[in-house]
Every structure is written in structure tokens, then in C-alpha cells.
Structure 1
Amino acid sequence: MSDIKVEMSADSATVIQNPNAASQPNNPLSRKLNKILETRLDNDKEMLEALKALSVFFTENSLRTRRNLRGDIERRSLAINEEFARIFKEVKEELESVHEDVQAMSTCCEEMTNRLKAAKEQTQDLIVKTNKLQGENHRLEVRAQVAQAFLAKFQLSPEEMATLRGPRDAPITEDFFKALNRVKHIHEDVKILLRTNQQTAGLEIMEQMAVLQETSYEQLYRWAQNECRGLTQETCDISPVLIQAMEALQDRPVLYKYTLDEFGTARRCAVVRGFIDALTRGGPGGTPRPIEMHSHDPMRYVGDMLAWLHQATASEKEHLEALLKQVTLQGVEENMQEVVGHITEGVCRPLKVRIEQVIVAEPGAVLLYKLSNLLKFYHHTISSIIGTSVASLLMTIEEMHILSKKMFFNSLSLHASRLMDKVELPPADLGPTASLTQTLSLLREVLASHDSSVVPLDARQADFAQVLSCILDPLLQLCTVSASNLGTADMATYMVNSLYVMKTTLALFEFTDKRLEMLEFQIEAHLDTLINEQASFVLTRAGLSYIYSCVQQHSAEQGPLSLLPSMDSSSVKTAMVQFDRYLSSPDTLVMPQLNFLLSAAIKEQIFRQSTELVCRAYAEVYSALTSPANGYKDPETLVPRSPQQVQTLLS
């Protein structure tokens, strides 16, 4: 190739060097050379490819090879064509083989198609029958599913049936209640069938479920009854299954009521036995001690019995609440009250006998009153637990309360009648008699126990007036009868002392305002008597009694006062001298009875008000003696002191 290029370069140089040759435009060789020279190999891709292919077998650039180039190219082209023909022949043979196979397959397919057509014609009836059977099978499957769903909704499983129809002594478990609830739901759901055209099936299922329900409830009732009969121990453990049983039995009110009655009977036996044991045997190991050991102490004896019953009643109420906590019936609270009343009814007889023995033994008015308050308190407390007053226990406690209260007032009445049967004379110091002091001490104890009572306020206030009437009214009558033979001053002093002692006794307690007011009025009445007596005593001892009496009784028709007997100037002057001695030491003229008064305040009040009466009496005497109409000469010498001066001296 390089030789060709060299040769071409030499030729080009020859052409260039020969300018004459270029001037011959019609020379063919020249045109070819020019064309070759003008050709740009970089842009002629076909030429480049041809040269590249030529370089594969044109390895030697010589004259001989250049001359044989065409032949070589033709031979190479022939060889390539022969190779192509050979290869294409193989392809043709393969295609013919494939064609033969395709022809064979086509023939086979035609045969199979013909056979299938023949088979289809022969099995057409079978296919129709098969399709029909498949459709029928699908419908049967749907019906089977519907039947299964129907049975699942309206029938019990074998396990549930076995649970509900177990042996009579079989225990009740959680599965029983699940099966029973399932029966209830089926019985409710089957009503849907009665609204469709499946009424016969609905009625049969409803009847079957109703029978199954009744037998199940009967079995559940028998089991619950046996469980309740076993609850006779002091500690009562309510099992969760029994609670569920009561919840289920509420759908059968009769069985529910019978079960509650059975529970109440069992617990009644337990409470009675526990109460008797507490009375006679005490607690476990002897602690606490038997209640009967304290029968010598009525308050503790009765209090311990009532406290035990209060605790037992509260415990039984809690047991019932635990048993019926899942019951949603109306009137559950009334049922509990009724059952608790039935449970505690058994202890009424032994309780009543023992309390009656204590009350009838007449332990004294104070103890009877304390027992009455104690019974009233426990009646109020236990009624808040039971919630009804018709329970036998509450009726028994109320009877004992009424009995103790009656015995208490009988004791007070007997005490009062004894006082009136033998009236005690007032002592020499005109103070309260021993019987009065003793009775007031009794009243003080009664009122003290009344104040410390835990009975509600309204009940305490209602009893208070009756207690005071039973004691104070006989005492007042006793004092009046006892003082009937005394003088005026002695009677007034004795009555003031007695009333004062009563007043100071009542003043320490509540609900006594009305009685204190009444006693205050009576004391004031007797104080007026003592004030008048003290004033008369002073006027008599001071010499003004006669003069004051004459002044009060004198009238203008009688003439001058100085003309009356013992009313002359000398007599009046003598009396005034005596009155002056009183003014110099007024404390010396005091009635002896006033020294017996128990209250210094009352004594001071009497002295002050009697002094005022003396001053008013002196003022009247002074006015009469200084009046010109009474005919006294130099009245200033008779009565040198004015009423104001006298009042100043005595104040």
C-alpha cells in the first residue's frame, strides 16, 4: 500500500513538473488523475471500508500483486459467494426439516381436532349433566352453610348440652353460666323466626329452649340451695360462683326468693349459735370473756350483748351485699332488709329474756334510765343497718326500751310518793331537807347520764320534760307542804333556799330553760316576801313602824297628824333619835332568817331592795311631818335629815 502511495506521488510530481500536460484538458488520464487527487479519502467512508477490507489479504505491494489484484478480488468474492451458498444451503435444509415437522404437527393437530370434535359430540350430554351437578353441588353447599349457621345460632353445642344436663350433684362452673346465657339468647333470638315463614321451627326451638331453661334453673337452684345450707359457720365466705348463681336466678323470682330464704335460714342458725357462744363460752381461747360473766354489771352486760348484735347485724348485711352485688332487680335493698331481719330474729328471744331479767331486778332509777338510753341508741344504730322498723330485733329492742323507760318513771313516781307519804320538816337552818338533797342528787345523776347519752338530740329533748316533771313537781309540792307550818319569813327563806338548790342543779344541764324560768319566778315571789319582811323588821326596830303606819292611814278629815295619839313632837323626836342610831349602823338590823340564805347574791338583793323600801317609807314620813297641815312646830328639828341624805347614808 505504501508502494502505491509512493508511486502515486511520483506520478503526481511528474504531472506537476510537466506543465504542458496540464494544458491538455481532454486527456482521460489527466482527468482521472485530477479526479483522484481531488478526492478526499477522509469523507469517503465506502472507500475507507474498501481499503480496509483490501488490507486484509493484500499484504505485499508489488507489481505482480498489483496486476493480479483484480483476479484476487474476484477469486475472493467467488469464495465468499460459494461459502454463502453453502451456508444458505444448510439453512435451506434446516428450514425444509422444520417445514416437514410443522406439516407433521399440523396433521397431528388436525387429527386431534377431529378426535376432539368427535369426543365433544359424544360427551356433550355428560358435560351438561356435570355442569348441572356442579350447580346442584354449589346450591347444596350454600344450604349446608346456611344450615350450619342456623344450628350455630339456634342450637347448643354438644359440650354446652352436656354442661346443662349434667348429673344432679355436679358442681356448677363458669361454663354452666355461659351455656345458660346462650340458651337465653337463643330463646330471645328465635322470636325472629316467628315473624317469618319458619314459625314451626321457631316454635319447636322456643319450646326446646324453654324446657332446657327450666331444667337448668332448677339445677342451678338446687346447687345454690346446697351451697347456702353450708354457710353455717361464723365466717361466711361467698364464692364468686354463688354470686353469679344469684345473678342468674333473678330471672326466676320464686327460685331467687327461695334461695334467699335458704341463705337467711342458714345464717340465722349461725348467728344464734354465735350469740349463745358469746354469752356462755366467749371468744376463741376465752378471749373475750363470756358476756354472762358481766351479768352483775347491768350496763356492761346489756351493752356487750347489744354491741355483739350490732356487729353481727353489720356483718350479715355485708354478706348479703356481697351475695347480691350483681343482682339488678328492683327492690334489692328491701330484700336485704327482710333477710337481715329474718337472720337476726333468732336472737330476739334470748336477748329479751336477759334484758327483762336486768330490768325487772330494779337496779335503780339511774341505771334504768341509762339502760333506756342505751337501748334507744342501739335501736337507732341497728335500724340504720337494717333500714326498717318492722324487723323482729328492732321490735324487741324497742319493747325493752319502752319497758326500761316505764320502769324508770315508775321508780321516779314511787320515789315521789314515798317523799309525800312522810313529809320531812324543814331543818333549823331553813336549808334544803335531806330528802330534797337526796332527790336532787338522783336528778343530777339522771341528767348527767342524759347529757352523756348518745341518743339523737330530738329524742333526748322529748324525754327531758317528762323526767323533770316526774321529779321537780313532787319536790315543789313537798317543799310547799313541808313549809306550811312555818312563819312568813321562815317559809319564804326555806322556799328560797330549796328553789335555789333546784335552780343550781338544773343550770348545769341543757333543755332546762323553761324550768329555770319557772323556778326564777317562784324565787322572785318569795324574795318579795322577804324584802317586805326585812323592811318591816327595820322600820320596827328603827322606831318608824308606828309613825309610818299612822302616816299611811291618816286622812285630812282626821285633822292634823300631830293630834293623833303618840304622834306628838316628843314621841316623834324620840323615834327619830332611834332611827338615827339605825342610820349609823344599818347592817345591825338584819332578820335572822337572812343569815340562813344559801346565796349571798340573793341576800344582797334582799338587803338592797328592803333598804329602798325603808328610804321610801322615810320619805313619806318626812313629807308628812314637814307638811304645815299636820301642825308640827320646827319640823327641821324633828327630821333633821332629808330623804336624799338618808338614802346616801344607807346606800
Structure 2
Amino acid sequence: MATAQPRPPLNTRRSSTLTFNSPGLSPGGNTSRPNNPLLHKVQRLLSANLEDSGTRAALDTLGEQEDAEEVPKSTGGAANGAGVQGVGGALKRGGLRKEVEGKMAEGSREFLQAFSEVNDKLSMLQSHLDAMHVCCDEVQTELEKANTGTRYLLEHAEGLRQQRATAAVQQSLVHVFLTRFTLSNAELRALTSREVPVGPELFAAMDKTERIRADCRALLSGEAGEGTQAGLDIMEYTAQHLEAGYTKIYKWLTFEARGFAKDVLEVSATVREAVSRLKSRPEMLSEVLTILGTTRSTSILNLFLDALTRGGPNGLPRPIELHAHDPIRYIGDMLAWLHQAMAGEREFLESLFGTKGDDEKVARRVGEVHALSRHRRVKTGVEGAEKARTDWDRIKKLLDKDFEGCGRPLKIRVQQTIKSQESPIMAYRIATLIHFYKVTMERTIGEDALMSSVLGEIMDNAYEAFFATLQAQGRSLLRFIQPPAAALSAPTQLRDVLSTLREIMSVYATSLLENESSTATTLAKREEDFRDVLDAALDPALEMCGKMAEMRQAEWDRAVFWINCDESVLGTLEGYDFVGARRRAVEEDEAKYVDSLTAEHHSHLLKDSGLEAVVAALREKDAATPLSSLPPANSAAILAAQQAFTAFLSTVDPVSSPRLSLLPPHIAASIHADALRRVSEAYAEVWDAVADPANGYEGRDSLLRRMKEEVRMLLGVQ
């Protein structure tokens, strides 16, 4: 068998055959058959788009069919082979329909055979389904019978499940109720048993009991019913155990209160919490505080006596009574010890009551006025502020109770020291020192406290002793009075009194009492407070000066002596604002004597100047009488006065005068300057009178040669 040669693609092969072997398609052929159907098909095929995928697939199928049926051709001449191939292709194309139809028929037979098998299978399946349907009906019937039989069991089971859920809910509620409204065995043991100490366990049990009672009050506030009886039972049940807890705290605190007899006191958190809880039982707390006050009073008294006689540990600090020879240090040490002890006691009590809040981190000194701050009132509200005020009242009462034993030994020692003082300065320093601590104590524990009363009593004794020394000093000044010295200076007795007064004023100005009250007391109040001291010290001395001045016959001497005394007083009072009223009174008295001396000194200078007669005539004459007609002021008298005045100007000192040498320099300078000013004014009056034509002077320009301005300049008048 010859091997088949490879063939070109179908579209190329068909195109070459039609182009070269068909006579009707040759370019030069005869076109006698214009309606050739083959030509039309060929043209349609040539004009078709063979790039379409469907068309290409159909042609490829035909080509494969043709190749499958082609037989080997002889290898004759090229032209003969081409002709046979074209005829065979044409024959195959003629039987193509038959062949295709045959294949389609064969395919249909195969399809029918396959469907016949499927139909047999479906028939078998249908028979099986019918059998199963019959079986399902039987099962359904049996299920309906079973369902009817078990429906009662299902309903009964559902009811049991609901009852079980309800029982579970009720059990949970009962558990919650018992947990919330009953106490556990451990909590009951903490409230009632002595074996459980006072501490967090007891406090937690009490808190729970209080919460149970609060919840019961809410339960009782509802409608009456079963809950009302339950609430009453629970309230009765918890009241007994709660009272047992408070009794346990009370007994424990009474024991602890007897143990606060040490020097260094520390308050534990348990004690502080116990006191806080016992505040709701005022009777119990009052008894505890009474025991505490008695314990602390005895302890503080023993400590005070030890500080007076034995001193501190190992003798340091030294006993206070070793300084009994120094009154200020002795009394000051005793009061300072009480001040420090009260500060420590106040801190102990504030810690005990828990009154130290965040708004009091800045320490308040003992003696500062205690007042609830606005921050605390806002923070805690009215109720909290009222509780804090109640706590502070308790603290003040305890402070008073704690220090009541120290009052008697303090009073005895201070009074003995006061009675031994003869110096008014020392007596006044003691009085002001006690006065300061009295005010401090009143601000700390109140004016009604025993220690405040003791300090008030010894303060009164100190002031009485001070004024007694001043009165004795005044009586001694008036007992022996002598005339002023030749220099008319302030007497030695006055200077001694003023020295004492200055020391007293210095004590008042620099005392702690003055510093404490300066922010709240006006200047007038301070003057009023010191007026009695000033009068008692100064009035006898001024009375002595007055009697001494009366021993001088000359008014000039009396005035000079008084000015010297007043200047000494003013020098002492200078620099202290709380003696302003008395200083002004002394200045007015001095001004009176200065005016008297100025007038007398002016008369003396006017006489020395030669103008006295002329000025007297000028000031005494009638307005209608010419001055030149008066003998003391005629032209000759004016010329004589002019000569005397010229000599006066050449000798007078415009700065000072020997007659004023006994006065203080600034007073003498002031008097001399004022007198010279008056002399200058008198000369100006005479000048104007001579220059007035109405006075009838002839040759007025030659009578007075010195101008008024020249005289003012020569006399140093400003």
C-alpha cells in the first residue's frame, strides 16, 4: 500500500482545483452559461470569511472525512494525476450528503439504544420507589400511633422541666436573701466572741450588720405584707448582735484608754476606727473619754513636775526651777512647756478623732483660732461640718481636762515670782508674757477652760503688781521735790521715769502679744490698751515737773524748764504709734511755752533795736493823728532809732541768741528766727509809716536809709 502524501489545508487545495481545472472559471473561457450554480457556490465560498471558528471547524471535519476515505493514487504525469484527483473529489462531494445522513442514522440508533437502557433502569427504579412508598406509609402509621401514645409523657416532662426551673430560681433567691440578710458564723463570732480581737474582722461584721439594717428599713418602707414581718425579725436579730459589737469596742477602748499614760503617744488605725464607730453611742464614748482624760491629766501633771524638778532624760533639758533667779526665763519656760505639751496633746487627740483632713496639711499653731474651712464645708457638706465641730468640742474639753492638774503648781510658782519683783519693767514683761499665753490658751481650748482661768488670774496679779510698782515710783517722785537746776534742764528723776517708760513701750511694741494682735486690732485700740500704762508711768513725773517749775519766780525760767521737760518726754515717745494721742498733747503744751518765750524774746530784741518806742507809738496812735506829731516818733526820735537800729544790725546774731542757750538747739533756733522775723516786720511798719505823706515827715528819704528788703536779708529772715 502506498503511503499517503501530506495534503495542504483544505481551503488552499479546493481553491487551486477550481482555479486550474474548471473550464468555466478560466479567465479566458466561454461564459455561455451565466446561471451556472457551481459558479455561484464557488463565488460565495470565495467571498466567505473563512476565519470564523465555526466555519473552520466544519471544513476541517470534511477534510478529515475525505482523507479517511481517499485511496492511493498512481504516480503518473502531473496533468493526469491532477485530473483524476479533481474527478474523485467531485464524486466524494456528490455522496457527502448520503454519507452524512448514514452517520446521523447510525448515531440515532446508538442514542435510542442508550435511552432504551436508561428506560429499563428507570422502570426498575420506579418499582423500587413504589415499594418504598408502601413501606413509608406503614412507618408513618406506626409513628402516628407512637406519637399519640407518648404525647402525655412529653407534656408531663415539660411540666417537670418548668417546675425544676422555678425551683432553681427560688433556690437562688433564697440563697441571695440569706447571704444579704444574715450573718455568717465567722461574722457572728467576730461580734460576740472575746477570742476575736477588735480589728478589721469585727469592723467588717459591723459594717455588714449596718448594711443589713439599712436594707431592712427599705424593706419596711414598702407595702405591708410578708416582707414586713421578715424585716422586723431581721431588725431584731441584727440589733442584738450590733449592740454586742459596740459593747465589745467600748470595753476594749476603756482598757486602751488606761494605757495612754506614756510620754510619746501613737494612735493606731484600729483605735482611731473604734473611736469613730463609738461616736454613734455618745454615752459609751463619753465614759471612754472620761477615763482617757483622767489618765492623761495624771500623766501630764507628773511630766510637768518632773520638768520642774528633775528635768529631762539624763538631766537634759535641765530642771526649770534652776532658772528661778531669772523671772522671765523661769515663767517663760513653764508656760512654754505647757504650750508645747498642749500642742502634742492636741495632735494626739486630733489623730484619735481623725479630724486632720487634707485641707489642714498646713499645720495650725496652738493658739490660732480654730475654724472649719470653707473647703471642708463644701467637701463634707453641712452634716460633715457639724460632725467635725462636735469632734473639736470634744477635743477642747479633753484638753481642758488633761491640763487641769497643772494649774495649781503653775499658779503658785508664778505668783511667788510676781510678788518678788520691784522693777516695773520686769513686772510688765512678766504681765505681757502671761497675757500672750492667756490669749493663746483661750483660742485653743476656750475662755471657760480651767487653764484659761488660771492664766487670767495670774495675768491680773501680774498687772496689779506692775501698776503697784508704778504707783510706788510716782509716790517716791512726789515725796521729795527740789527746785530746778541752774541749767533749767529736765530733772534726773524725770529722765529715770522716761527711761523706764521707754523700756515698757519697747516691751509692748515687740511683745508676742502685740505681734499676734496687730493684724486684727486697730491703732486706736492699741492706744486704748496702753493708755493706762502710759498715764500711770508719766502723770506722776509731769506733776513733779509742774511743782518744780512753780519754785521758779521768773516766767522765762518756768517756760524754759517746761520746754526742756516736754522735749525729754517727746524724745521718749518718738517712734511708737500707739502713744500718738499723748504725744500730741505734750506738743501742744510745749507750743504754748514756745509762744510765750518767742513773744518775750521778740520784745527784748525790739528794745535792743531802738524801735520799741516808735513801734509802740505807731500801734497805739489814733488813725487821724499824724505819727510825726507824737514825741516818741518825731523826726529826731526816728533818727535816733535809726542809729540804734544800725548798731543792732551790726551786733545781732541771726542764728542764735545767748538768752536761748538753755533751750534745745532746734527750739532756740526756731524762737530766735521767729523773733527776728517779727523785728523785721516792725521795721517794715515804721518804714511804711515814715514814707506815708499823711504822717507829715519832712525829708522822708533821709530819715530811714535802709530798705525793708535789706533789713530782712541782714536779719536772715526768709
Structure 2-normalised TM-score? 0.67
Secondary structure of 1:587 counterpart: coil
Paired position in structure 1 for 2:561: 494
Paired position in structure 2 for 1:72: none
Mapped to 2, the partners of 1:153 and 1:186 lie a distance apart of: 7
Mapped to 2, the partners of 1:170 and 1:589 lie a distance apart of: 100
Paired position in structure 2 for 1:179: 205
Paired position in structure 2 for 1:319: 348
Letter in 1 for 2:677: E
Q: Please state how far the C-alpha of 1:434 moved relative to its aligned partner.
A: 0.2
Matched, 1:515 2:541: no
Paired position in structure 1 for 2:193: 166
Matched, 1:375 2:434: yes
Matched, 1:607 2:672: yes
Which runs of structure 2 are paired with 1:25-64 in the superposition (5 Å)?
none
Contact 1:153 1:186 in 2 (8 A): yes
Change (3 A) 1:197 1:622: closer
Select 2:419's aligned residue among 360, 384, 387.
360
What is the percentage of aligned positions where both structures have the same residue?
A: 31
Paired position in structure 2 for 1:596: 662
Paired position in structure 2 for 1:245: 274
Mapped to 2, the partners of 1:573 and 1:523 lie a distance apart of: 40
Q: Please state how far the C-alpha of 1:305 moved relative to its aligned partner.
A: 1.8
Change (3 A) 1:192 1:644: closer
Q: Please state how far the C-alpha of 1:264 moved relative to its aligned partner.
A: 2.8
Change (3 A) 1:46 1:259: farther
Change (3 A) 1:144 1:629: closer
Contact 1:562 1:632 in 2 (8 A): no
Change (3 A) 1:179 1:562: same
Select 1:482's aligned residue among 534, 545, 548.
548
Mapped to 2, the partners of 1:300 and 1:182 lie a distance apart of: 58
Q: Please state how far the C-alpha of 1:609 moved relative to its aligned partner.
A: 1.2
Mapped to 2, the partners of 1:181 and 1:520 lie a distance apart of: 77
Matched, 1:466 2:493: no
Matched, 1:428 2:428: no
Paired position in structure 2 for 1:292: 321
Paired position in structure 2 for 1:157: 184
Mapped to 2, the partners of 1:134 and 1:624 lie a distance apart of: 143
Q: Please state how far the C-alpha of 1:630 moved relative to its aligned partner.
A: 8.2
Letter in 1 for 2:714: L
Matched, 1:344 2:370: no
Change (3 A) 1:590 1:315: closer
Secondary structure of 1:512 counterpart: helix
Q: Please state how far the C-alpha of 1:234 moved relative to its aligned partner.
A: 1.0
Q: Please state how far the C-alpha of 1:143 moved relative to its aligned partner.
A: 5.7
1:19-72 C-alpha deviation (Å, 9 max, x unpaired): xxxxxxxxxxxxxxxxxx99999x999999xxxxxxxxxxxxxxxxxxxxxxxx
Which deviates more from structure 2 when the two are superposed, residues 549-558 or residues 263-272? 549-558
Matched, 1:391 2:454: no
1:423-454 C-alpha deviation (Å, 9 max, x unpaired): 34211111110011111111111111222122
Paired position in structure 1 for 2:649: 583
Change (3 A) 1:578 1:140: closer
Secondary structure of 2:565 counterpart: helix
Secondary structure of 1:417 counterpart: helix
Matched, 1:267 2:334: no
Change (3 A) 1:573 1:162: same
Letter in 2 for 1:347: C
Change (3 A) 1:297 1:363: farther
Letter in 2 for 1:436: L
Contact 1:424 1:433 in 2 (8 A): no
Give the root-mean-square deviation of aligned CA atoms.
5.0
Contact 2:654 2:676 in 1 (8 A): no
Paired position in structure 2 for 1:197: 225
Paired position in structure 1 for 2:715: 650
Matched, 1:504 2:583: no
Contact 2:606 2:679 in 1 (8 A): yes
Structure 1-normalised TM-score? 0.73
Could you tell me which runs of 5 or more consecutive residues in structure 1 were left unpaired when the two chains were aligned: 1-8, 14-36, 49-109
Letter in 1 for 2:666: A
Letter in 2 for 1:647: R
Q: Please state how far the C-alpha of 1:555 moved relative to its aligned partner.
A: 5.4
Change (3 A) 1:136 1:649: closer
Paired position in structure 2 for 1:104: none
Mapped to 1, the partners of 2:655 and 2:433 lie a distance apart of: 56
Paired position in structure 2 for 1:332: 391
Letter in 2 for 1:606: I
Contact 1:424 1:482 in 2 (8 A): yes
Which runs of structure 2 are paired with 1:532-551 in the superposition (5 Å)?
532-545=599-612, 548-549=615-616
Select 1:529's aligned residue among 581, 596, 603.
596
Contact 1:313 1:385 in 2 (8 A): no
Select 1:218's aligned residue among 243, 247, 264.
247
Contact 1:303 1:374 in 2 (8 A): yes
Which deviates more from structure 2 when the two are superposed, residues 537-546 or residues 286-295? 537-546
Mapped to 2, the partners of 1:480 and 1:298 lie a distance apart of: 36
Which structure is richer in relative contact order (CA contacts within 8 A, separation 6 or more)? 1
Mapped to 2, the partners of 1:130 and 1:398 lie a distance apart of: 94
Matched, 1:411 2:469: yes
Mapped to 1, the partners of 2:166 and 2:618 lie a distance apart of: 141
Letter in 1 for 2:327: P
Which deviates more from structure 2 when the two are superposed, residues 238-247 or residues 615-624? 615-624
Change (3 A) 1:158 1:626: closer
Paired position in structure 2 for 1:83: none
1:500-558 C-alpha deviation (Å, 9 max, x unpaired): 12112211222333333222222221111111221222234445545555555555899
Could you tell me which runs of 5 or more consecutive residues in structure 2 were left unpaired when the two chains were aligned: 1-69, 75-98, 111-141, 356-382
Mapped to 1, the partners of 2:291 and 2:282 lie a distance apart of: 14
